[in-house]
């Protein structure tokens, strides 16, 4: 259920509605907006009697939500969510947010070389895996806390915001300690206990689309996080598995406008995992910006052929700098024309 307050409803009236929701054993999610406040109600299994709320002072209307998701929708929050990591690092505010860095943190030297270029390119976010989900149990699985410490030093040295993946619930505390944003990987998109755990985090969440997930399943995964009270979520399209053999995954760029039609959450495009081939990364990054993404995720390595993971899709430092120039030019056209 969704309760829409009158434009001039006061805080006291909002508090009264919240108490009424909680007295029924449900949870109230207060979403202030430019023109009105909406309150999403979760925790009810069946339909709630709308008359409990319709007659409370300040309530404009109580609406039964028939869609499977409630909190991620534009019905609840017509304004777009801006995920703000501080110091001008925002996603969803109309700027182009670039999250770049190596697939995995391999060493201090490797990570710093990439961070230097990422920072000079104007990007505000640095990525790097400390805990890596690998198909083979014998492949490099990340340096764990040592990698997180390197990432924290990169934040201090370069002023970049740190994005890193939590692979399971037991990693979340550590990622929270060192990073600025928690990545949930494609393989974990429906790890519901992990989603609930990051839903209780103070850090924003970057939620990748599962490689076989429908749009609805992906949005419901975001709903899991929001239902726990964490409203700072960025969706990341990273390609889905198809029969194509010319790419690692098929980057579903149509997901960007599809998400934007339903949800207020920002959505970015991962052109690295979305293609798996470095020569395709820049063209698909350009396309991602053109289709209206709020940002990009890009993997970068000084020596891709020596990378311990995902080298085939990593841009070199020079290729990365060139890509930033190209996507920035496209973003200017898009932003200027208000697409």
On the CB side of 111, how many CA atoms lie within 13 Å of its CA?
27
Q: What is the distance between the alpha carbons of residues 265 and 233, in angstroms, rounded to a whole number?
A: 7
Q: Which of 238, 260, 286, 331 binds ligand PEP (CB under 6 A)?
A: 238
| 3-state SS track over 32-80 | ECCCCEEEEEECCCCCCCCHHHHCCCCEEEEECCCCCCCCCECCCCCCC
Please, are residues 299 and 315 in contact by the beta-carbon 8 Å criterion?
yes
Please, are residues 277 and 313 in contact by the beta-carbon 8 Å criterion?
yes
Run of H or E residues at 331: helix 317-337
124 binds, options ligand PEP, Mn ion, none, Cβ within 5 to 8 A by partner type: none
Q: What is the distance between the alpha carbons of residues 262 and 78, in angstroms, rounded to a whole number?
A: 10
Point out which span in 10-18, 34-42, 183-191, 327-335 binds ligand PEP (CB under 6 A). 183-191
Q: Which of 92, 129, 199, 295 binds ligand PEP (CB under 6 A)?
A: 129
Map residue 185 onto helix, strand or coil.
coil
CB of 199 to Mn ion, least distance (A): 24
CB of 226 to ligand PEP, least distance (A): 20
Q: Which of 70, 273, 301, 331 binds ligand PEP (CB under 6 A)?
A: 273
Binding mask 305-334 for Mn ion (x = CB under 5 A): -----x------------------------
Binding mask 271-310 for Mn ion (x = CB under 5 A): ---------------------------------------x
CB of 102 to Mn ion, least distance (A): 8
Q: Which of 29, 77, 161, 208 binds ligand PEP (CB under 6 A)?
A: 208
Which residues, 92 to 111, sit near Mn ion by CB under 5 A? 103
Total number of residues that touch ligand PEP (CB under 6 A): 9
CB of 164 to ligand PEP, least distance (A): 9
Point out which span in 64-72, 118-126, 184-192, 275-283 binds ligand PEP (CB under 6 A). 184-192
Map residue 318 onto helix, strand or coil.
helix
Is 185 a residue that touches ligand PEP (CB under 6 A)? Answer: yes
Q: Which CB, 1 or 179, lies closer to ligand PEP?
A: 179
* Closest to 327 (Cα-Cα) out of 270, 299, 288: 288
Q: Helices 317-337 and 108-120 meet at what angle, rounded to 10?
A: 30
What angle is formed at CA 228 by the lines to CA 233 and CA 148, rounded to 5 degrees?
A: 55
Residues that bind ligand PEP (CB under 6 A): 103, 129, 133, 185-187, 208, 238, 273
Residues that bind Mn ion (CB under 5 A): 103, 310
């Amino acid at each position: 259920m969704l309760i829409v307050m009158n434009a001039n409803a006061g805080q006291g009236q909002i508090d009264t509605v919240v108490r009424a929701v909680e007295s029924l054993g449900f949870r109230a999610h207060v979403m202030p907006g430019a023109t009105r406040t909406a309150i999403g109600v979760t925790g009810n299994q069946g339909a709630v009697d709308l008359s409990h709320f319709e007659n409370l002072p300040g309530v404009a209307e109580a609406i039964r939500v028939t869609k499977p998701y409630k909190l991620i929708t534009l019905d609840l929050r017509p304004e777009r969510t801006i995920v703000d990591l501080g110091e001008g690092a925002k996603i969803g505010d109309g700027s182009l947010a670039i999250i770049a860095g190596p697939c995995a943190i391999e060493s201090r030297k490797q990570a710093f070389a990439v961070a230097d270029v990422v920072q000079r390119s104007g990007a505000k976010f640095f990525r790097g895996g400390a805990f890596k989900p690998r198909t083979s149990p014998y492949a490099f699985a990340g340096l764990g806390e040592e990698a997180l410490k390197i990432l924290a030093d990169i934040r201090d040295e370069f002023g970049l915001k740190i994005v890193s993946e939590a692979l399971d619930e037991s990693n979340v505390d550590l990622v929270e300690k060192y990073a600025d944003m928690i990545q949930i990987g494609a393989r974990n998109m429906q790890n519901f206990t992990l989603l609930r755990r990051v839903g209780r985090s103070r850090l924003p969440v970057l939620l990748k689309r599962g490689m076989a997930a429908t749009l609805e399943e992906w949005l419901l995964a975001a709903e899991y996080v929001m239902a726990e009270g964490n409203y700072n979520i960025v969706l990341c399209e990273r390609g889905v598995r198809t029969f194509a053999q010319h790419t690692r995954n098929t980057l579903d760029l149509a997901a960007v406008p599809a998400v934007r039609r339903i949800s207020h959450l920002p959505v970015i495009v991962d052109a690295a995992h979305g293609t798996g081939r470095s020569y395709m990364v820049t063209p698909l990054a350009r396309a991602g910006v053109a289709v209206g993404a709020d940002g990009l995720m890009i993997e970068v390595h000084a020596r891709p052929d020596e990378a311990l993971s995902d080298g085939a899709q990593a841009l070199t430092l020079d290729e990365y700098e060139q890509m930033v120039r190209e996507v920035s030019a496209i973003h200017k056209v898009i932003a200027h024309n208000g697409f």
